[in-house]
Structures are given as C-alpha cells and as structure tokens.
Structure 1
Amino acid sequence: MRIDLHTHSSASDGTDTPAELVRNAAAAGLDVVALTDHDSTRGHAEAAAALPAGVTLVTGAELSCRIDGVSMHMLAYLFDPAEPGLLAERELVRDDRVPRAHAMIGKLNDLGVGITWEQVARIAGDASVGRPHIASALVELGVVPTVSDAFTADWLADGGRAYAEKHESDPFETIRLVKAAGGVTVFAHPAAVKRGRTVPEDTIARLAAAGLDGIEVDHTDHDAETRDALRGVAHDLGLLTTGSSDYHGTRKDVALGENTTDPEVYAEIVRRATGAFPVPGAGGPVTA
C-alpha cells in the first residue's frame, strides 16, 4: 500500500488542478493521497469528484505557523473544515497573503528586479498567492534558475532580502483548533534547514506535550542522517512518523510518492480523526 500524505494543487501553490492531482496519484501507483493545500480546503470537492477507482483521498491542509520567530508548517488531516474556530484562523492567514505579496514585490523592485503584481497574480491564478508564485516569477525573469533557488537568503527565504512576514498562527493554538475540529496534526519537514531556521528539539517536545500527533520524517529536504535523528526524536516523544512527497506539480522537481507513509501509521491517523473520513474512489477500498 503506497501512501503520500503531503501534496499541493492549484488551489494553493501547486500546478496540477485538484482533479489532475488525484488522477496523477493513480498513475503514480498511489493507493492513498492527501491533498494539503496551504491554509485552504478549496480543492477538496474537485479532488473527491474526480477520484479514480482504487485511490483514497485524505482531506487536509498545511497550516502556516510561527513560534519564537521561526516559521513552521503544520499538516492537519481529516478535520471538519466548517468548524468555526479553525476556519476563522485559516481565513486570517489567507487574507494576509495579498498584502504580504505586495510587500515582497516592493522589496524585489528595490533590489532592481522588475517583477510586477500583475505577473505574480497571473501565475497564481485563482489560488491564494504565496512565495512559490513569486519564486516562479523570478524564474520567468531569469533572476534564478529554479523555484528552489529563490528560497535563499538572497531572495525569499525566511529573513531573506525580499522576505516579508505574514500572519502565522501560534502552533499550540493550531493544535488546539485542529483537535477541536476532530483532526490530526503532523509537523511538516521539521528539519528542512535550507528553508531557513528550524525549531529546536525542546520545542517539538513542548508541541508533543500539547497534543501534536506526529512529525514528517521522510521528506525530500531531509537527508538520511536527519531522518534517523528525527525517528529517534519521534520515538522518545511517542510521535507518529510520516513520509510524503510535498508534491507541487511542475513547480518543484519532486514526484508523487517519492516518499511514503507506513500503512500502520496511516491507519492510526484515520483512527484518531473524528472530523472527517477518507474518501474512497469509485470501487476503491473503504478505509474508515
């Protein structure tokens, strides 16, 4: 059973539509795929409607958080998307994306880069605008060769020359809100040092004590040594360990199913969730 619990569609900063994403998941041989767009559940209905036979959809989101000045992302699975508290917090984060993008564009202009809001808006389309859309504009302009190369201190990385802050949730409050909505929380790519500062191990321990369910261990931004260290942290704290692609379509050079989650861990996530059930494709297995 092949399970990928972290993917993005054009509802946030991926290039596949939600329907294309689930069809591509089937073509990649996945049995389970989670759609975890940034601070958004807008793609879930389209993905569920297009779900091929034999593929199960896990609804979720990747929530933007910040603690002690460090940005971090929280994967939330199988929560009730209409739960008022969590919905209000997601809307706060989404609403701050446009002014933040304008601020970063202004900083890039000051650095001599001829990027415009119109260019970024065209790339984002109907999605909530984010740094990857600005990074794609930098690629179009020939400023950097790839989207990943835009996420450096020279450009858009946390604290970089063109970085601007946005509203990000307190992770302890996020855990509480997701739990209240019946969901399960997993700390995304906790040791992705090339993205900027990461939270220390003692903070992960505090999050675990507050109800964090797991950490994403097998991720393209974690080398073998880092994965081993994170497994040790998870073991010591009693946390689940997941693996995933963090797929963004053509925006990043990562394939669906590049990393996967153990079926027993997936089953435990489903068991803990009370806000929503996985969605089986027509003829697919019922998983909850």
Structure 2
Amino acid sequence: MRYSHIFWDFNGTIIDDVGNALQCVNDMLERKGRQPITLDDYYTYVETPIIGFYRHILPPDELDFQDISRQYHSDYARHINETGLAEGAYELLHKLKAMGVHQYIITANILSEAEELIEKFGISACFDKILGAENTLAESKIDRAKVFFKELNINRNDAILIGDTLHDLETANALGIDCVLVSYGHQGRRLLEEHNAFTVNSLKDVEKILFDNRIVDFHTHSTCSDGTLTPKELVNHAKKSGLSAFALTDHDSVDGIKEAKEEAERTGIEFIPGIEFSAAENTETHIIGLFINPENETLLKTIEKLKGSRKRRMEEICFKLRNLGMDITHDEALEIAGGNFVGRAHIAKLMVEKGYCETIKECFEKYIGLGKPAYAEKNELSAVEAVKAIRAAGGLAFLAHLNQTGYSLEQLEELLLKLKSAGLNGIEGYYPEYTAEQISDYRALAEKLSLCFSGGSDYHAAMKPHIQIGVGTGDLYIPYFVLQNMKNILKID
C-alpha cells in the first residue's frame, strides 16, 4: 500500500453521526419555537467554522454561540447511543493498524470527548495521535494539522486525509497531501461534487483507493513536439515504467495521438488524448487539454493558427541569441528536431551542443526562459482562447505548471477566475518542480475556486534527462483516483 500515514476526520467519517447532529440542531430550534430543518437544509448550510451554519438558520439576536455550543454538546451526549461507527470503520481501522500504517484523528471535538468516544467504539488502539480541539466552538483544524504535520517530518506523498467536508479538503490542501471525501457525512455528495472534490460513497470505496497502487501521468511529450521518443516509443516506455494510464500532451499538436492510441490499445495501457497549448495572458501560460477529440474543427483551427507564429517566435529567439554572440540558427534547430516542429528545448539542445551552456535547464534559466534576454513573447493565442478550444473539443482544461507563470498568488487567483469563466476545470496540482510551499498554496487556491487537479511529470525523455515519466525527479506520485475524478466530471466510465 502506498500510504503509510492516514489522517482521519472523526465526525461524519469514522462515526456516522449526521442524524445525531441534525437532531441536536432541531432540538435547539424547537426550544426557540422555530421550525425544524431537513437533512437537505443541513447539507446546504453546514460549514466551518460552525458559527456560519447558525447564521443561516437563526436571526442575529438569537446568535449566542457560546450558549448554542454548550447546549449542542449536552444534546449530543444525550443522543450518543443513537450514534455508531460508519459501516466498515472498525474492520478497516484495525486492518490498517495491523499492517503498520500510522493513523491519526484530526477532529473539531474537544480532545477529552473524542478520546471518550474512540474508547467507547473500541478503536483507540488504532491511532498514534488524536488531534482534538481546545474548545467547543468547532473552529478550523488547519493550524493544528500543520503544526503536527511539521513535527512528523514525513513525505507528503506518503500521506492522505479521509474526511467528509470541504473543510477537510481545505485541511488536506494546506498540508499538500491527497484527500478523499465520503458522501455520507456532514455535507453530502451534491455540495462536494459541485466543488470538484473526489467523493466516494463508503469506507469500502475508501479501502479500494488506499490499496490501489496504480499511478498515472497527464503531462508528456513526444517527437511530435519537443520530446525525443516517438508516440509509439513513449507508450511502450510508459507501460514499461509501470504506469496504468497516461496522456500525450504535445505542444500545440495532436499529430501523435493516433499512433499513441493504437499502440496503447495494443499494449493494454489506458491512454488519454491531450494537448498543451502555448498561450499568453499578460504572462506565458500553458493550458493542458485532456480527453480531447483530436479531430474537432475548432481545435484544429486553433492549432493551425499557431503554426506560423511558432516558427516566427523560434526564429526571433535564434536572432536574439545571435545578437548575444551565439551562433544559433533556426535551420540547425530544425535539424535537431527532426521534423517541422521546433521548440525552445530544441534550441536549448543546440546551445548545449555548441558549448554555450552545460545543460538545457541552464539555457532556460539564463537565456530563453520567461523574462530572459533571448525570450520571445507569445501573443498569437490567449489562454482564454486555449481553454475555449479545449472545451469545444470535449476536453477538460487545466492551467499547467503555475510556478512558471511568474505570478504572485493574488495574480494567479485573478488569472484563474478569468480562465474559469471561460471553462477552465482545474490546475496541475502535481508537478515535479513545485516546492512544498507551492504545493500547499496552489492546492488551497484550487479548493477556494472549486477547481480540480491534474498533474504530470512534463516528460520529454532526453530533452529533460532529470525528469522521469510518472515520477518526475523521484518524488512525484499521482494516484489513479485523480483520473477517476476527471471521469466523474465528464460522466464517463
């Protein structure tokens, strides 16, 4: 099993106490002479901090939250015998404990109350640590989780959070770890799926995910753009590397999709047709399209529009390099590319071959990357146009490698809001060059805007020898449920 550290939410995840919570709320409303709420009402209004929930159902002059909280906990204790473990919780928790998996509870309950309930249900031995609250106000769990996670000093890829609310997703994103939500808890499937959260129906489904070691990669390149493996070779390399599914996302091209799809069908690896559009939106932006129809007319017209502009841009880069004293021509780069497509990676390879830089990475960092002296601006295709072309082709659209935009978080949020209005589905939440801080920041931003995750290695074979398919620099791991979440959004099997 991949995950060696599991963070569990308690209420609504390990214990099935939604009925108890609803009864406590209606007991309070009855005492105030007000009408009870339904389960749908509860799902609609519940939030963290919980005081926001009461603002929805009570007028301001009745919002004595200290008294409400005290009475709620009294009523909850009175109804506790009506509350039990979620189906399958006892067996799964003990199974994971026997396997040596480290398990922790992060709960809004007061620590003493949580410990009492855990003992009552016979599961206290399963947990290394209970992260309980200091008061009854059901406030955010994020700060407690972050402090404890830092103390653990573990690899983010080894951890997952299982919960039932958007606040649990928010907590997982703050830690930069994977998250799966259950639909039987305190917010229900409809709200969770509206926010593109990966949601399952039961702990049996959670167990399947925990024991599913399949990995995927949604960002790779072939010789049809600036990779060095043919589409057929790339498929076989992905299969040999242990991937269960992968996407071909060549720059501004779908030329390799037919060959890759046929080879994938022959070898038995799941294949996702894709593209990576090079676009501009006041900065360089790349938009990944997945599950596209490569024969879509709008998509093909957009690609055709870029062909001439790409050549112009690459020639401009070569011209600037010559002005910097480097003997670099477009014809030489085209020869290295071995076809009609020339990208910056081909120019960088030529620069290395001629001794102007030691590595391709150095070429980008010193000369041809965004804002560097030989960089040429992209202005033929806006990111909005790229998103619309992908959606017209039936695909999902994602903003790629957010760290390369040069934008602050505030600027990224503004960009993402603009792209979301055009149909953007998500961001690359997994990428080998993200720092730990960027992982947390970008995922938190995605959760705030109800965007889902894609991710990938950005594999180019020999063009980026330090990047390996599926694993990046060695610590990238994209679980199969990320792909399943995309399929859920598209409503496909």
TM-score by length of 1: 0.88
The residue type equivalent to 2:356 in the other structure is V
Matched, 1:185 2:397: yes
User: What's 1:155 paired with?
Assistant: 367
In the TM superposition, 1:110-259 aligns within 5 A as: 110-152=323-365, 154-192=366-404, 196=406, 200-252=412-464, 253-258=466-471, 259=476
Matched, 1:100 2:313: yes
Q: Summarize deviations over 1:150-171 as a string: whole Å, max 9, x none.
A: 112x310123211122444222
Report SS of the residue matched to 2:375: coil
Report SS of the residue matched to 1:6: coil
Once the two structures are TM-superposed, the CA of residue 176 in structure 1 deviates from its matched residue by: 2.0
Give distance in 2, aligned partners of 1:99 and 1:168. 11
Check whether the contact 1:242–1:262 (CA below 8 A) recurs between aligned residues: no
The residue type equivalent to 1:170 in the other structure is S
Matched, 1:264 2:481: yes
User: What's 1:61 paired with?
Assistant: 275
Give distance in 1, aligned partners of 2:393 and 2:367. 36
Check whether the contact 2:252–2:278 (CA below 8 A) recurs between aligned residues: yes
Q: Summarize deviations over 1:239-279 as a string: whole Å, max 9, x none.
A: 111221110001111001113433233123234448xxxxx
Fraction of identical pairs, as percent? 35
User: What's 1:281 paired with?
Assistant: none
User: What's 1:20 paired with?
Assistant: 233
Give distance in 1, aligned partners of 2:487 and 2:260. 19
The residue type equivalent to 2:450 in the other structure is G
CA radius of gyration, larger in: 2
> Which of 229, 247, 252 is the aligned partner of 1:39?
252
The residue type equivalent to 2:480 in the other structure is P
Long gaps (5+) in structure 2? 1-213
More deviation in 223-232 or 52-61? Answer: 52-61
- Indicate the structure whose relative CO is greater, using CA pairs within 8 Å and at least 6 residues apart: 1
Check whether the contact 1:158–1:197 (CA below 8 A) recurs between aligned residues: no
Report SS of the residue matched to 1:151: helix
Report SS of the residue matched to 2:286: strand
User: What's 2:195 paired with?
Assistant: none
More deviation in 259-268 or 28-37? Answer: 259-268
Once the two structures are TM-superposed, the CA of residue 116 in structure 1 deviates from its matched residue by: 2.4
Long gaps (5+) in structure 1? 275-286
Give distance in 1, aligned partners of 2:488 and 2:380. 29
TM-score by length of 2: 0.53
Structure with greater helix share of residues: 2
Check whether the contact 2:273–2:294 (CA below 8 A) recurs between aligned residues: no
